[in-house]
Amino acid sequence: MLYRQIVYLFLLLAWGGAGSAQAQTSTALASVTAGTDDKPPAPWKILGFPQQNTQKPVTQFDVVTLDGERALRIRTDRSYGNLVDELSGPLPGQLAWRWRLDQPLKDTDIHTKGGDDSALKVCVLFDEPLERLPVLQRTVLRVERSSTGQNLPAATLCYLWDSKYPPGTSGNNAFTDRLRYIVLRGPEAPLAVWATQTRNVAQDFMKLFGDEDSEVPPIVGVLVGADADNTKGQSLGYVRDLRWLP
């Protein structure tokens, strides 16, 4: 079971590997709506499940003009996908962004594997030292890193816009303890209305991973994503102004 959980985490992130030739050597977060193209700019890259493992469709990410400003549009249709900016270095500060949900997912339940979908999520990935993990998880992650040749992140913190649970709900992902979440917007949140979020990521990390860590490890990436592959639904949301604050 644990082996499947770690494999799922690898598929969940379809991780390119922090420390790869393409990874940034700083924590500077690129604008997700820069430029004039309708596609997210480099170094952001869209990652779905590896095609050799599944034929699931990939969540669609494009840049559009909404309310007179450029915004990242995120659309699911029974799909899975993440937009990732690989970074490397200490956590630089608070994370801020604006988001809105126009079409929520139905039948989600993040406490179960069958309902583990999110119409919108913003995540921070951490290079947690393996010696801080439980022994069995540490061993399996070492094996997965060796077999895939990828430096898979050992800890991921996700902020969710959820269709079922209220703000403040937090816990471990239904598939793996290596990913933990906090719900920031729930079913009571108005649709098609921009909401501003600012999070003290260090505090949130210690709240969720403090059972393993006494300090916040370096980060290896930030991602924006949405998935509807478990509930077979459709959703529409937007993100803009994603940035670090001191």
Name the domain count of the chain.
Answer: 1
Q: Give pLDDT, residue 133.
A: 67
In 148-233, where do the E strands start and end?
155-161, 170-172, 179-185, 195-199, 219-227
Q: Give pLDDT, residue 127.
A: 87
Q: Give pLDDT, residue 128.
A: 79
- Percent of the residues in the chain that have a pLDDT greater than 70, as a whole number: 78
pTM for the full model?
A: 0.88
In 105-233, where do the E strands start and end?
118-126, 155-161, 170-172, 179-185, 195-199, 219-227
Q: What is the pLDDT of residues 79-123, one digit of tens each?
A: 999 999 999 999 999 999 999 999 999 999 999 999 999 999 999
The phi, psi pair for 205, rounded to 5°, reads -60, -45
pLDDT at residue 18 tops 50? no
49 SS3 class:
coil
Q: What is the pLDDT of residues 143-155, one digit of tens each?
A: 666 665 556 677 8
- Percent of the residues in the chain that have a pLDDT greater than 90, as a whole number: 69
Range of the domain at 67: 2-245
| CATH code, domain carrying 40 | 2.60.120
